[in-house]
Amino acid sequence: MDKTQATLIAGALAAFVGFFSALLSHLSLRYQLKKQAEESERVRVHSIKTQAMPNKIQSLEQVWFFLIEIEGLEVIPNKIIEPYIKATLWLPEDVRVLALSLLGSSITTETRVCLIAELRAKIIDLSKDYSC
Task: Specify the pLDDT at position 97.
Answer: 92
Task: Specify the pLDDT at position 75.
Answer: 79
Give 42-92 as a 3 state SS string: HHHHHHHHHHHHHHHHHHHHHHHHHHHHHHCCCCCCHHHHHHHHHHHHHCC
Which residue range is the domain that position 30 belongs to? 3-130
Per-residue DSSP letter, 131: -
Task: Specify the pLDDT at position 55.
Answer: 87
Number of domains composing the chain: 1
Q: How far apart are CA 54 and CA 3, in angstroms?
A: 77
Task: Specify the pLDDT at position 131.
Answer: 61
pLDDT beneath 70, residues of the chain: 131-132
